[in-house]
Amino acid sequence: MATDNEKLNRATGLLVIEVRDSNPNGDPDRESDPRQRPDGRGEISPVSFKRKVRDLVQSDLKATNRGPVWEEIAKTFTPPLKEDQNCILESRGRDRDAIKKELNDHKFAEKYWDARLFGNTFLEEAASTFIKSGVVQFGMGVSISPILVKRYTNTNKSGVQEGKDRGMAPLAYRIVEHGVYCMPFCVNPTAAVKSGCTKQDINLLLNLIPYAYPHNPSYVRPFVEIRHAWYMEHKSPLGSCSDFALIDSMKPKRKPECDSEKPSKAWDEYNVPKKEDLPADLKARILSIRDLMEETDGTSGT
């Protein structure tokens, strides 16, 4: 459980994500087209982002199989991160029946970092009272302007069909030409009462966020980058000002000479707030504002 000396304050976050010729989140209901709203604006789902963070901690079912991001970040933590307390509940290939057997174990919350932090979906089918809602909730990432989706045919020199010397997948390569997305998130201390989430759990997440995309690239997602990761801590566990006011103040806007209802071509088409641009009345009501992208040397883990 979060103790008095590990007091969690409410916090408001905002990820500003740039996409260049990549598919940041495919829609399985639309043949993996980049997710898109009826008004043309693109979407990145919270599930998609959390998956990338989980994979930085543990890439498969073996808790010992961790990558370089975990290895480097773990060195910065005092007290040290414990391997057996930072496993991933929602790992790829988990056996649901095996998980159900663990639900009523009093050490369940101690074992799984992502369950303490995000909650989980496995408990919907169980009668357990553990961890139904997470401390950290990510919202939908939405592009500031509509996006232009381009579709190309994939070709393969080695044909997969008999009698053909090449293979083709018509319109299978689907990418966003350019887009700037904003994904809000929040830290809710009330949920820590049941989940057991500690300040160390939150700090691990904050250290992982800058590496979510550069260490999870793919064939259709080679160039996605978090340009700013704003983390604004309130002055108390209850919160000290409006989440909406903080988020709206730090969201980029298209420059006046650009049509905000047309897809952008480059980052410099946006006016992007800096830390000092947060209005003075809001800054006075929070404890601190940080850009996690400025802390990628890993020194903020303590």
Looking at residue 158, its pLDDT comes to 59
User: What is residue 194's predicted lDDT score, i.e. its pLDDT?
Assistant: 81
The gap from C-alpha 259 to its chain's centroid, in whole angstroms, comes to 29
d(CA 112, CA 88): 5
pLDDT for the residue 110: 86
* Residue segments in the chain with a per-residue pLDDT below the cut of 50: 1-5, 124, 126-129, 298-302
For residue 282, what pLDDT is reported? 97
Tell me how many degrees the CA angle 3-190-236 measures, rounded to the nearest 5. 75
- The length of the chain, given as a count of residues: 302
H-run or E-run covering 229: strand 224-234
pLDDT at 27: 94
Q: How far apart are the first and last CA of the chain?
A: 18
Read off the amino acid at residue 201: D
Nearest to 148 by CA among 252, 267, 262: 262
Q: At what angle do helices 199-208 and 46-57 cross, to 10 degrees?
A: 100
Tens of pLDDT along 106-159?
677 788 899 899 987 655 454 444 556 789 999 999 999 999 999 988 776 555
DSSP string, 20-73: EEE-SSEEGGGTTEEPB-TTSEEEE-HHHHHHHHHHHH-SSS-TT---HHHHHH
**22 within 8 A of 222, measured Cβ to Cβ:** yes
